[in-house]
């Protein structure tokens, strides 16, 4: 995942990070007051606002003392726990504004705006959104924080971990074509990313001034397909700064037949920065619903090209067995057991590993439990 390679870059530690965080928060709060000011005259009409939210409480532990994907052999409550609140308001028949505030481990449980945008329905087939948006690069990336909206305890990091940032400032245009029983969405998005992100344990600030992407999504009654391509230049603020171009491509398939469900995604990240290089990953999930229960199994892997220095390759394989249960109170309970193995002599998904600091045992068992709901 390149996370290990980035440990090579020294970062000016806490003070700088705290300052950046403060700036980010200030920026968020100023962004927030903007739409609120716009319609403060109608604040009294509270029924026009729609509040909704989601929450996940999580616990996780591994059997390996080396940190793996951010988990280790001490009980961890934070990694997958999250709280989110969304506020929507319709301004006219075709215009609405939306804000989604999220507090999670990645933000040290400070609330940060994950979404903040204006949505304009230009015509029945054309939508435009502008503001702070989530990067639409995976099947579930738009609603990754909402535990009830997908099957897994957490999306497979062999694929979902390849892009460390989740949101951008900019716009998107979605063109929708309705065929007999299939919908085709073509989404163009562009903007800039400027975010503090965490490469498995290390806080870094990165920015991308130019980001262009296109998405082709088809959705039928049983089959959903997706192809995404993103082209950007990325700069990591570190000493010395690291600047490189990134070409990112993903393919996704989701097929449902009767009580069976299959999901597949493949992602390829091609950079011209040597320590990160080229990496690709994929997963396959097969699930079956039995009443309110849904057991599933996932196989996933990630590999990189030979140019990536030995010991830093994110090469890994994993098998996950999990179970989702939707109870009568609207709570969704999930548990999974993940068995991962780093390639011999490589860091794999061990967070702090490198050529001179390889885990004694390259295999790991990870147990996770979550309970989620929406309101």
Partner 1 sequence: MKLLLVKIISTSSAFIALFFLICSSLLSTRVIATEIAIVVNPGNSIEALNQDDVRRIFLGKLRNFESGKKLHVSNLPDDAPLREEFYQRLTGHSAKKAKSQWAAYAFSGLVEFPQECASEEDLISWVNKNEEGIGYINVESVTDRVKVVYRLGTNND
Summarize as ranges the residues that interact with partner 1 (CB under 8 A).
50, 52, 54, 84, 86, 88, 90, 93, 96, 98, 100, 115, 117, 119, 121, 123-125, 129, 133-134, 140, 142-143, 145-146, 148-150, 176, 178, 181, 183, 219, 221, 289, 292, 326, 330, 332, 374
Which residue lies nearer to partner 1 by CB, 76 or 187?
187
What is the SS3 assignment for 153?
A: coil
Count Cβ atoms below 10 Å from residue 183 Cβ, excluding itself: 13
Q: How far is the CB of 149 from partner 1 (least distance, A)?
A: 4
Q: How far is the CB of 63 from partner 1 (least distance, A)?
A: 31
Paired tokens of 315? 């090469």
Q: How far is the CB of 98 from partner 1 (least distance, A)?
A: 5
d(CA 99, CA 118): 9
DSSP string for 16-38: HHHHHHHHHHHHHHHHHHHHHHH
Which residue lies nearer to partner 1 by CB, 115 or 283?
115
**Beta-bridge mates of residue 203:** 198
Which residue lies nearer to partner 1 by CB, 117 or 248?
117
Which residue lies nearer to partner 1 by CB, 330 or 345?
330
Which residue lies nearer to partner 1 by CB, 29 or 123?
123
Q: How far is the CB of 374 from partner 1 (least distance, A)?
A: 5
d(CA 315, CA 302): 5
Paired tokens of 165? 């940032």
> Given the DSSP bridges, would you call strands 242-257 and 260-271 parallel, antiparallel or unpaired?
antiparallel
Paired tokens of 329? 């109170």
Which residue lies nearer to partner 1 by CB, 41 or 93?
93
Q: How far is the CB of 143 from partner 1 (least distance, A)?
A: 5
Q: How far is the CB of 37 from partner 1 (least distance, A)?
A: 21
d(CA 367, CA 348): 18
Q: How far is the CB of 39 from partner 1 (least distance, A)?
A: 17
d(CA 276, CA 267): 15
Which residue lies nearer to partner 1 by CB, 319 or 335?
335
d(CA 137, CA 139): 7
Count Cβ atoms below 10 Å from residue 336 Cβ, excluding itself: 22
d(CA 96, CA 117): 9
* DSSP category for residue 111: -
Rg from Cα positions in the chain: 21
Which residue lies nearer to partner 1 by CB, 54 or 283?
54
Task: Sort 319 into a burial class: Cβ within 10 Å, 0-12 / 13-18 / 19+.
Answer: middle
Q: How far is the CB of 146 from partner 1 (least distance, A)?
A: 5
């Amino acid at each position: 995942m390149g996370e290990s390679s980035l440990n090579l870059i020294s970062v000016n530690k806490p003070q700088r990070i705290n300052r950046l965080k403060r700036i980010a928060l200030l920026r968020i709060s100023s962004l927030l007051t903007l739409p609120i000011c716009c319609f403060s005259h109608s604040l009294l009409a509270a029924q026009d606002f729609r509040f909704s939210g989601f929450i996940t409480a999580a616990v996780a532990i591994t059997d390996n003392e080396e940190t793996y994907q951010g988990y280790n052999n001490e009980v961890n409550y934070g990694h997958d726990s999250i709280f989110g609140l969304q506020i929507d308001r319709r301004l006219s028949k075709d215009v609405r504004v939306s804000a989604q505030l999220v507090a999670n481990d990645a933000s040290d449980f400070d609330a940060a705006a994950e979404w903040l945008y204006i949505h304009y329905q230009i015509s029945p087939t054309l939508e435009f959104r502008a503001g702070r948006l989530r990067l639409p690069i995976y099947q579930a990336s738009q609603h990754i924080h909402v535990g009830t909206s997908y099957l897994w305890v957490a999306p497979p990091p062999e694929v979902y971990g390849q892009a460390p940032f989740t949101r951008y400032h900019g716009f998107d245009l979605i063109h929708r074509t309705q065929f007999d029983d299939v919908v085709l969405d073509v989404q163009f998005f562009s903007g800039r990313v400027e975010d503090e992100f965490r490469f498995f344990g290390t806080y870094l600030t990165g920015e991308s001034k130019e980001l262009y992407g296109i998405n082709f999504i088809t959705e039928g009654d049983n089959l959903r397909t997706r192809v995404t391509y993103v082209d950007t230049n990325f700069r990591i603020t570190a000493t010395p700064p690291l600047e490189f171009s990134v070409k990112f491509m993903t393919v996704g398939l989701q097929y449902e037949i009767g009580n069976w469900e299959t999901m597949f995604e493949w992602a390829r990240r091609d950079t011209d920065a040597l320590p990160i290089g080229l990496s690709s990953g994929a997963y396959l999930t097969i699930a079956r619903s039995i009443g309110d229960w849904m057991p599933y199994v996932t196989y996933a892997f990630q590999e990189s090209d030979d140019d990536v220095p030995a010991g830093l390759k994110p090469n890994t394989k994993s098998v996950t067995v999990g179970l989702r249960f939707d109870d009568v109170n609207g709570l969704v309970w999930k548990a999974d057991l993940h068995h991962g193995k780093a390639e011999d002599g490589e860091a794999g998904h061990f967070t702090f590993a490198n050529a001179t600091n390889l885990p004694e045992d390259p295999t790991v068992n990870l147990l996770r439990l979550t309970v989620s709901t929406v309101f």
